[in-house]
Amino acid sequence: MGKGRGSANRTLVLGLAALIVMAMAQPTLATVHYATWSYSMATWTRGKTFRAGDYIVFSYNKSLHNLVRVSGYGYNTCTRPSGSLAYQTGKDYIKLVKGANYFLCSFPGHCKAGMKLAVYAY
Q: Which of 99, 103, 111, 108 is nearest to 86 (CA)?
A: 103
Which residues form the domain of 35? Answer: 28-121
Amino acid 108 reads: P
In a domain, 12, yes or no: no
23-75 tens-digit pLDDT: 555 556 899 999 999 998 999 999 999 999 999 999 999 999 999 999 999 99
Res 56: pLDDT: 98
How high is the mean pLDDT of the chain?
89
Q: Would you say residue 3 has pLDDT above 60?
A: no
Report d(CA 79, CA 37) in Å as an integer: 18
Res 65: pLDDT: 98
In a domain, 9, yes or no: no
Share of the chain above pLDDT 70, in %: 80
In a domain, 5, yes or no: no
In a domain, 42, yes or no: yes
